[in-house]
C-alpha cells in the first residue's frame, strides 16, 4: 500500500538541515507499523512529510500509495488517496464548527470517489456512532475545531476524524504524547476498532506504552534520519528496557 524508498527531506526554505537521510519502508494492507526513536530522530518529520506539510522539502527518494506518487500530490489529494495523519498538535480553528469542518472533509472525499454528498442531517447520523467510539459528547459538533479543547479532547477529535473519514492508511504522529492513561486507552481502543484487513496504520511514538494497547506487527527504530533497526513487537519492549542509546552508535553501520 505504502512504499517509501530512500526518502530524504529537510526543512524547507533553503539551507535547512537534512532530517530524513534515506528512509525505506513498506506497509501492506492489514498491517500496523510502529515507528519509534529518540527526540530529533526524524520520526515526526517522516509522518509530516508523508502528509505533505509545506514546511518540509523532499530532497530525494520516492513514496507511493497504491502505486501512485504520493510526493507529487497536494495534501488534500493525499487525503483523497486515503492517507490520514493524526496531528501531534491538532490545530485550533476558531469560527469553524467541528460539524461543518468534518462534513466538508467527508463530502470532499466522497466527491473524489464519485459518491453523492451527504446533507447535514445524514451526516449527524454518521457522527453519532463515531462520537461514541471516542467517548465524545455530540455538543462538540457545534464547537469550533479544537478551540478550547483539552489535550485529550484534541487527540480524541483526531481519532474521531479518522473514524469518519475512514482512511486506507492512518499515520498517528505521537498521538500518545501528553495523554493520561484513560485518554490513551480511549484513543487506542478507537484505533483498534478501526483496524480492517484493507487498511493500515503507522504509529509514530516515543514511548512503548501506546504499543501495549495498539499492538504492532512491525517496529522500526529511527535514529538521525535513518531506520537503524526493524523487528517485531518485541523490539518495542527491548527499547523500553534498554532505552535508545544502544542503537545510536552503530547507526552508520546499519545504514
Q: Which residues bind another protein (CB under 8 A)?
A: 51-54, 74-76, 78-80, 84-85, 87, 90-97, 99-102, 104-106, 108-109, 112, 120, 144, 161, 165
Choice between 114 and 197, CB closer to another protein: 114
| Shortest reach from residue 159's CB to another protein, in Å | 13
What's the min distance (Å) between Cβ of 112 and another protein? Answer: 8
Pairing of β 200-205 and β 32-36: parallel
The smaller minimum CB distance to another protein, of residues 171 and 239, is found at 171
What does the block give as the cell for 181? 492513561
Altogether, the residues listed in the chain come to a count of 255
What angle is formed at CA 229 by the lines to CA 201 and CA 70, rounded to 5 degrees? 40
CB 120 within 8 A of CB 163: no
Q: Write phi, then psi, for 219 (nearest 5 degrees).
A: -125, 130
* Cβ-contact 27, 65 below 8 angstroms: no
Is 26 or 104 the residue whose CB approaches another protein more closely? 104
Quote the least distance from Cβ 165 to another protein, whole Å: 7
**Rg, Å, the chain Cα set:** 18
Minimal distance in Å, beta carbon 14 to another protein?
Answer: 17
Q: Which of 187, 218, 170, 159 is nearest to 47 (CA)?
A: 170
The residue (of 21 and 155) whose beta carbon lies closer to another protein is 155
Nearer to another protein by Cβ, of 99 and 179: the residue is 99
Minimum CB separation of residue 236 from another protein in Å reads 27
Distance separating alpha carbons of residues 208 and 240, to the nearest angstrom: 6
Amino acid at each position: 500500500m505504502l512504499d517509501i524508498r530512500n526518502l530524504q527531506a529537510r526543512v524547507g526554505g533553503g539551507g535547512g538541515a537534512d532530517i530524513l537521510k534515506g528512509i525505506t519502508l513498506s506497509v501492506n494492507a492489514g498491517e500496523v507499523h510502529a515507528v519509534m526513536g529518540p527526540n530529533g530522530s526524524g520520526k515526526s518529520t517522516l509522518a509530516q512529510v508523508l502528509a505533505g506539510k509545506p514546511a518540509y522539502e523532499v530532497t530525494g527518494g520516492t513514496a507511493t500509495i497504491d502505486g501512485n506518487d504520493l510526493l507529487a500530490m497536494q495534501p488534500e489529494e493525499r487525503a483523497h488517496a486515503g492517507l490520514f495523519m493524526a496531528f501531534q498538535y491538532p490545530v485550533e480553528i476558531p469560527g469553524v464548527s467541528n460539524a461543518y469542518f468534518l462534513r466538508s472533509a467527508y463530502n470532499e472525499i466522497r466527491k473524489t470517489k464519485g459518491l453523492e454528498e451527504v446533507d447535514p442531517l445524514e451526516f449527524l447520523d454518521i457522527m453519532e456512532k463515531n462520537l461514541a467510539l471516542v467517548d465524545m459528547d455530540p455538543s462538540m459538533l457545534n464547537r469550533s475545531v479544537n478551540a478550547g479543547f483539552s489535550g485529550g479532547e484534541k487527540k480524541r477529535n483526531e481519532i474521531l476524524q479518522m473514524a469518519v473519514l475512514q482512511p486506507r492508511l492512518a499515520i498517528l504522529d505521537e498521538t500518545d504524547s501528553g495523554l493520561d492513561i484513560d485518554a490513551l486507552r480511549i484513543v487506542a481502543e478507537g484505533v483498534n476498532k478501526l483496524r480492517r484487513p484493507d487498511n493500515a496504520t503507522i504509529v509514530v511514538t516515543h514511548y512503548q506504552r501506546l504499543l501495549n494497547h495498539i499492538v504492532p506487527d512491525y517496529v522500526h527504530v529511527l535514529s538521525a534520519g535513518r531506520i537503524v533497526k526493524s523487528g517485531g513487537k518485541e523490539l518495542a519492549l527491548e527499547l523500553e528496557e534498554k532505552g535508545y542509546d544502544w542503537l545510536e552508535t552503530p547507526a552508520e553501520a546499519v545504514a
